[in-house]
């Protein structure tokens, strides 16, 4: 693939499923790519040794390093794909060790910080980045589908339109068609919240109640819209690619970690893959309480996990609520 108008130097921080794919993808577009991972981290060490994992095989032209300064020094765009709750630590290291002047920072995680309730772009701004430097990469898609050539549409958002346009120009291709975001608040909240809905979808699958996913989608998007509006965003963002547009990949796909986490939880099994919705449910429940937003689905997930209430009890109580009251 070679569809970009300008080749740049890209650094990817994070060597997991999405980090390795994003490095592979940027390389396919002709960019000069460096990947950063911590020494001793199993995902980094695997890539360093074999230049591949279960998702992608990385070309030798992609440099891997555990030296953050080296990784970032000449980069024009820094893509971060780490667990959301680790993002603050990454930003602290970037500020302490690296010069981010003139560089774009692209967040590719979908979560909300539990300790502060802040969106990830807000965390980045805390560490001295300017509005124009930040872009948010969101929307549906699974690595397993992209790597076999199945296309999808995704979303780039940011505080400045010129940044959104520039990042899309760098990373667009027939494999990923990008839409232009116009609501950072809605995009980040919607993208994070869809993982919570994914957990509920998985629980329903595990209980043999897949037919209730229709009600979940109707009610889930509505309560997320309420939160977005209360936080100053456009409630209609909940019905775009960042949230409801991502339901197919999150609520139904076998590749969805959040759906799989919920299904295994309902069956009393352990699921070891990262499911961001577990942490996001807690963060969103705190935001809902702080701003007085009615979010029954989010609160149900949070209560189910923290208070160890049986999934069937939680789901029965949740879906006994009157749909009409929830949708007004």
Tens-of-pLDDT digits for all 328 residues of the chain?
A: 545 569 999 999 999 999 999 999 999 999 999 999 999 999 999 999 999 999 999 999 999 999 999 999 999 999 999 999 999 999 999 999 999 999 999 999 999 999 999 999 999 999 999 999 999 999 999 999 999 999 999 999 999 999 999 999 999 999 999 999 999 999 999 999 999 999 999 999 999 999 999 999 999 999 999 999 999 999 999 999 999 999 999 999 999 999 999 999 999 999 888 889 999 999 999 999 999 999 999 999 999 999 999 999 999 988 886 555 544 3
pLDDT at 125: 98
Host H or E run for residue 178:
strand 176-180
Is the Cβ–Cβ distance between 185 and 233 less than 8 Å? yes
Q: In whole angstroms, what is the distance from residue 273 CA to residue 83 CA?
A: 11
Sheet containing strand 104-107, strands side by side: 63-65, 32-36, 9-13, 77-80, 104-107, 134-138, 152-158, 176-180
CB atoms within 10 A of CB 192: 28
DSSP secondary structure of 122-176: HHHHHTT--GGGEEEEES---HHHHTTT--EEEEEEESSHHHHHHHHHHH--SSE
pLDDT value at residue 273? 85
176-180/152-158 β-pairing: parallel
Query: For residue 165, what pLDDT is reported?
Result: 97
Domains present along the chain, CATH in parentheses: 9-180 (3.40.50.720), 185-327 (1.10.1040.10)
Q: CA 281, CA 65: separation in Å to the nearest integer?
A: 34
Give residue 328's pLDDT. 39
Cα–Cα distance list, 91 to 68, 131, 148 (Å)? 12, 15, 33
6 and 170 Cβ atoms separated by less than 8 Å = yes
**CA separation for the pair 109, 172 (Å, rounded):** 19
Provide the pLDDT for residue 327: 43
Instruction: Encode 56-78: b = buried (16+ Cβ within 10 Å), e = exposed.
Output: bebeeebebbbebeebbeebbbb
Task: Report the SS3 class of residue 97.
Answer: helix
What is the spatial distance between Cα 209 and Cα 193, in angstroms, rounded to a whole number?
A: 21
User: 156 forms bridges with which residues in the sheet?
Assistant: 137, 180
- Nearest CA to 69 out of 38, 114, 99 is that of 99
For 107, what's the count of Cα atoms within 13 Å in the CB-facing half-sphere?
32
Please identify every residue annotated as catalytic: 194
With 0-12 CB in 10 A as exposed, 13-18 as middle and 19+ as buried, what is 247? Answer: buried
Distance CA 23, CA 20 (A): 5
CB-side neighbour CA atoms (13 Å) of 299 = 14
Instruction: For residue 84, give every residue at least 6 positions away whose Cβ sits within 8 Å of its Cβ, in sequence order, or none.
Output: 109, 110, 111, 112, 113, 120, 192, 276, 279, 280
Q: What is the pLDDT of residue 319?
A: 86
């Amino acid at each position: 693939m070679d569809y970009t108008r300008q080749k740049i130097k890209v650094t990817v921080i994070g060597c997991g499923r999405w980090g390795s794919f994003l490095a592979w993808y940027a390389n396919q577009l002709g960019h000069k790519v460096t990947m950063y991972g911590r020494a001793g981290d199993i995902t980094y060490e695997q890539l360093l040794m074999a230049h591949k994992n279960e998702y992608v095989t990385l070309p030798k032209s992609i440099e891997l390093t555990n030296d953050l300064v080296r990784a970032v020094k000449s980069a024009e765009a820094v893509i971060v794909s780490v667990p959301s709750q680790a993002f603050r630590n990454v930003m602290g290291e970037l500020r302490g060790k690296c010069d981010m002047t003139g560089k774009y920072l692209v967040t590719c995680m979908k979560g909300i910080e539990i300790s502060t309730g802040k969106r990830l772009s807000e965390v980045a701004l805390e560490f001295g980045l300017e509005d124009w430097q930040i872009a948010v990469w969101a929307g549906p898609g699974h690595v397993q589908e992209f790597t076999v050539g199945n296309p999808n549409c995704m979303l780039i958002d940011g505080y400045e339109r010129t940044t959104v346009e520039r990042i899309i120009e760098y990373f667009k291709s027939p494999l990923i068609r990008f839409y232009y975001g116009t609501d950072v608040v809605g995009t980040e909240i919607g993208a994070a919240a869809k993982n919570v809905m994914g957990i509920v979808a998985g629980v329903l699958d595990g209980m043999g109640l897949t037919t209730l996913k229709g009600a979940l989608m109707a009610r889930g998007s509505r309560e997320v819209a309420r939160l977005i509006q209360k936080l100053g965003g456009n409630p209609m963002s909940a019905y775009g690619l960042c949230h409801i547009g991502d339901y197919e990949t999150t609520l139904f796909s076998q590749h969805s970690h959040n759906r799989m986490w919920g299904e295994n939880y309902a069956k009393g099994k352990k699921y070891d893959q990262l499911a961001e919705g577990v942490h996001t449910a807690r963060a969103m429940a705190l935001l809902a309480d702080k701003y007085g937003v009615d979010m029954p689905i989010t609160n149900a997930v949070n209560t189910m996990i923290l208070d160890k209430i049986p999934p069937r009890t939680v789901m029965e109580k949740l879906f006994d609520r009157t749909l009409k009251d929830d949708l007004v």
